[in-house]
Structure 1
Amino acid sequence: MSDSPQTCVTVEEELPLNVVAGSGDDLHNDSSPQTTSSTRRCPAFSSCCKDRHYRKLAICSIVCGVSCIGIKALISSVKAEVTKDPKEADVHLRQAKKWGIISVVTLVAILASLPILMALISYLLTLKD
């Protein structure tokens, strides 16, 4: 991590605002561009959304999923980054994505089935008595 704080920069640019028919009065129907300051560029946000190798998905699948399947996703992610051949890298990317999703879905399925299994065990124990 760097010592300098990351700041978001607001960029002002000229954008023509098109008037839609029937959306307002005709007094301001000129076609001159108006200045807007709605465009924001934040380097911290843009870097988190460009995870080409599904590394963050793999790490989240280790922490928030079944760890052994998540490790398989992380290995595929690292192989995809290191590999020079684009076709082989694409195969590893698909495997990393697949294993990461499988890991998280498996943990959710296990957690969802626990109350059902507890109810079944409770029912079987009452039948035994």
Structure 2
Amino acid sequence: MSNSSQTNITVDEETPLSTVAGSGEAKNNDTCHQVISIAAASCCSDKHHRKLAVCSIVCGISCIGIKALINSVKAEREPDQAAAEKYTQRAKKLGIISIATWVSILVLTPMLMILISYLITLID
């Protein structure tokens, strides 16, 4: 075997690990909670459920999602607060219905195929 020299490094000062880029100088690590609250606020700041309507077009039944998007745009442009709230609630309801319908179709189709094949084998 060859002689290998080992280097012992001692660290004199304590360096905290930082999870947020650019906060290496900060001794206080409260910025992590601020970043999480900002991300949550930007996600939920959609007052008229426009993001839900767009997602329901892409990931749901498109015709119901388009109706949700129309109601979301009407809610944004409506000057009357009561009517705008009505359009907002309708956009939210239609977006959820669109996605729930699509998921139920995706789940129920294989289950119905299994049930039909089972019934056919019972008849034979």
Question: Counterparts of 2:35 and 2:102 in 1: how far apart (Å)?
Answer: 36
TM-superposed deviation, 1:127:
4.3
Higher strand share: 1
RMSD across aligned positions (CA):
2.7
Residue 49 and residue 9 in structure 1: after superposition, are their counterparts in 2 closer, same or farther (change >3 A)?
Answer: farther
TM-score (structure 2 length as normaliser): 0.67
Higher helix share: 2
Aligned residue for 2:30? 38
| Aligned residue among 109, 120, 123 for 1:114 | 109
Q: Rg bigger for which structure? A: 2
**Deviation per residue, 1:63-119 (Å, 9 max, x gap):** 111111111110110000010000000000000000011111111111111121101
**Which residues of 2 match residues 1-129 of structure 1 at below 5 A?**
36-39=28-31, 40-41=34-35, 45=39, 46-129=41-124
The answer to whether the 8 Å contact 1:81/1:89 transfers is: yes
When the two structures are aligned, how many residues end up with a matched partner? 99
TM-score (structure 1 length as normaliser): 0.65
TM-superposed deviation, 1:9:
8.0
Q: Structure 1: where are the runs of 5+ without partners? A: 1-7, 11-34
Q: Structure 2: where are the runs of 5+ without partners? A: 1-20
